[in-house]
Structure 1
Amino acid sequence: MVDGPGQRLRSTPGVQRVPNAALDLFVVRDFLDPASCAAMIERIDRVRRPSTIADDLGQTQFRTSETGDLDGGDPAVAAVERRIDALLGLGEPLGEPLQGQRYAPGQEFKPHTDTFEPGRADYFLHCAEAGQRSWTAMIYLNLVEDGGATRFKAIGKTVQPEAGKLLAWNNLLPDGSPNPATLHQGMKVRRGVKYVLTKWYREIGYAAGSRTRS
Structure 2
Amino acid sequence: MTGDRSAALLHEVCGKPGKHKLELPPLPAGPVLVEARLAEDESFSVKGEGLFCGFGQVSPEKGVAERALWCTDGEGKTVKVKAKTEWALRFHGPEAATPLVDSVTGVGTDVLVHNGPAADAVVRSHEHPDPFLDKLITDGLNNAQVDLFLPPDAMHKKQWDVLDVRRAGKREALFTVPEHCLFQLSAGPWCEWTVTLVGER
Q: Which has the higher helix share?
A: 1
Query: Which protein is richer in strand relative to its size?
Result: 2
Q: TM-score, normalised by structure 1?
A: 0.34
